[in-house]
Amino acid sequence: MPAAASIQFFTIWLACLALIWLPGVALARLLRLPKPGDWLLRSALEIGLGLSIAVMSGSGIIIAHEFGHRNSWWERALAKILLATVCYMHF
């Protein structure tokens, strides 16, 4: 695969990941946990949701970091949007 095609594929791949990641963060924020009577089940649900959001945030930072190195305005704008979702704007 030529270098230019490889870079273009990587850019498209990152853009697709960002388009999947942003709605996922919004959905996780809107998600309301059920209120079961069992405190152990409730705790397990809260821990699972917290770990899921942490993994999603880590992925978002990696994608934003890669877009932050790019020169085009839309890639840098997408990097800023992704970094804003995790309150890390000093890239």
Instruction: Round to whole Å and give the CA distance between 26 and 31.
Output: 9
Q: Among residues of the chain, what percentage have pLDDT more than 90? A: 0
Average pLDDT over residues 23-39: 71
pTM of the model: 0.60
Beta strands in the chain (DSSP E): none
Q: Among residues of the chain, what percentage have pLDDT more than 70? A: 82
Q: Which pair of tokens denotes residue 16?
A: 């697709």
Instruction: Round to whole Å and give the CA distance between 79 and 60.
Output: 9
CB 61 within 8 A of CB 83: yes
